């Protein structure tokens, strides 16, 4: 199955909680009570969410299984697991990072364990036919601005608007060398508008930050007027902190990045890994996800507070060639570094 088919027809996208919702519990805990052993999850979920919510609630949902976590940005996790693959000592049982194209490479290397989840029928987006991966959290890359600094009609409405000289020195994005979603953004926007687009952003004073948190803070202070950033960061701040940050879904297309969950076929606890996958894909898990400001792929779960309907975003999303991103990872990063960061 080609990944482009996976993306076609998507009406909603699966996500992980990065906010108040936490990571679960409830009725599924009863179903998971018999799962035993030990499990290691490698993930790019924010560390504060893992420590304050995921660890205690997953422990509650799986009382007889010890679940361990390794956290890092997508590129940090990929670097770690790449080294482990070479050494033939893979430490992860379950992988949850941001870049979908990486899972294609793992599947090509026959490193994933096919598993048709019990929740498969409820997931309305495409997925690997044999269950080798499912989208489990989707990060929407949008444009954000501070409504205390800009009127809505003054804010940029498209990705191309960020090249307008009036934003010179006042725009930013996360680094594609560190962030999986930013890597996808770089590849997709370069594919759509050419690398000249990023050269124009560079000439317009684009700042490249290590991550989304630094960007959101500088939007609040007014150092940046507008930025490429993840939707959930802005929704969370607006709802929980009443901060004056606003989301713009670009007219030339929102960038939807589904971040999959997959089981490594070297796992020593396949039953525990399968139970974890089932929980993340369950309605209970997805309702928690939406409270964490992201979107669900289940048809019976609505969009997060403050977001426009998932279908509306999906109907105007940027076209992504995931296979191209999988095959040209090093080249895309080098082009970005050369054209934007080394000048």
pLDDT of 55 reads 78
User: pLDDT higher for 24 or 125?
Assistant: 125
Structure tokens at 204: 């317009």
For residue 210, name the pLDDT band (cuts at 50, 70, 90): very high
Residue 16: pLDDT over 50 = no
- Give mean pLDDT, residues 236-252: 96
Q: What is the mean pLDDT of the chain?
A: 88
Neighbour count for residue 289 (Cβ, 10 Å): 30
Contacts of 274 (CB under 8 A, 6+ apart): 115, 117, 263
Residue count (the chain): 343
Contacts of 280 (CB under 8 A, 6+ apart): 16, 136, 261
pTM of the model: 0.83
Structure tokens at 64: 């007889």
Neighbour count for residue 268 (Cβ, 10 Å): 11
Residues of the chain above pLDDT 70, percent: 89
Sign (positive or negative) of CA dihedral 4, 137, 225, 325: negative
Structure tokens at 29: 């805990």
Range in 26-30, 134-138, 327-331 with the lowest mean pLDDT = 26-30
- Condensed to tens digits (0 to 9), the pLDDT of residues 141-197 reads 999 999 999 999 999 999 999 999 999 999 999 999 999 999 999 999 999 999 999
Residue 22: pLDDT over 50 = no
In order of start, what are the domains of the chain with their CATH numbers?
3-137+257-307 (3.40.190.10), 139-255+321-341 (3.40.190.10)
- Condensed to tens digits (0 to 9), the pLDDT of residues 74-90 reads 989 999 999 999 999 99
Contacts of 263 (CB under 8 A, 6+ apart): 93, 94, 95, 112, 113, 115, 270, 273, 274, 277
* DSSP 8-state code for residue 58: H
* Rg over CA atoms, the chain: 19
Structure tokens at 1: 């199955």
- Condensed to tens digits (0 to 9), the pLDDT of residues 284-338 reads 777 777 777 888 878 788 999 999 988 888 899 999 999 999 999 999 999 999 9
């Amino acid at each position: 199955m080609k990944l482009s088919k996976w993306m076609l027809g998507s009406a909603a996208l699966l996500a992980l909680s990065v906010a108040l919702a936490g990571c679960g519990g409830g009725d599924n805990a009863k179903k998971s009570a018999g799962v035993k052993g030990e499990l290691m999850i490698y993930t790019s979920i924010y560390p504060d969410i893992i420590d304050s919510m995921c660890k205690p609630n997953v422990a509650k949902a799986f009382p007889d299984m010890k679940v361990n976590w390794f956290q890092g940005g997508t590129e940090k996790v990929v670097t770690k697991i790449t080294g482990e693959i070479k050494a033939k000592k893979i430490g992860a049982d379950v992988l949850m990072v941001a870049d979908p194209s990486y899972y294609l490479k793992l599947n090509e290397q026959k490193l994933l364990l096919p598993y048709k989840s019990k929740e498969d029928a409820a997931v309305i987006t495409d997925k690997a036919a044999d269950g080798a991966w499912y989208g489990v959290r989707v990060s929407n890359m949008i444009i954000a601005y501070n409504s205390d600094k800009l009127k809505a009609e003054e804010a940029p409405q498209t990705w191309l608007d960020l090249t307008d000289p009036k934003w010179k020195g006042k725009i930013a994005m996360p680094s594609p060398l560190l962030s999986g979603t930013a890597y996808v953004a770089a590849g997709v926007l370069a594919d759509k508008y050419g690398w000249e687009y990023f050269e124009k952003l560079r000439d317009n004073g684009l700042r490249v930050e290590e991550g989304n948190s630094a960007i959101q803070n500088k939007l609040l202070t007014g150092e940046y007027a507008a930025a490429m950033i993840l939707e959930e960061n802005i929704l969370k701040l607006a709802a929980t902190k009443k901060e004056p940050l606003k989301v713009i879904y670009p007219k030339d297309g929102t960038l939807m990045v589904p971040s999959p969950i997959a089981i490594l076929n070297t796992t020593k606890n396949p039953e525990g890994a399968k139970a974890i996958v089932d929980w993340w894909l369950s309605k209970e898990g997805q309702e928690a996800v939406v409270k964490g400001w992201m979107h669900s792929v289940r048809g019976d779960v609505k969009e997060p507070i403050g977001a426009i309907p998932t279908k509306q975003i999906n109907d105007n999303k940027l076209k992504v060639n995931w296979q191209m991103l999988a095959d040209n990872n090093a080249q895309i990063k080098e082009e970005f570094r050369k054209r934007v960061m080394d000048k």
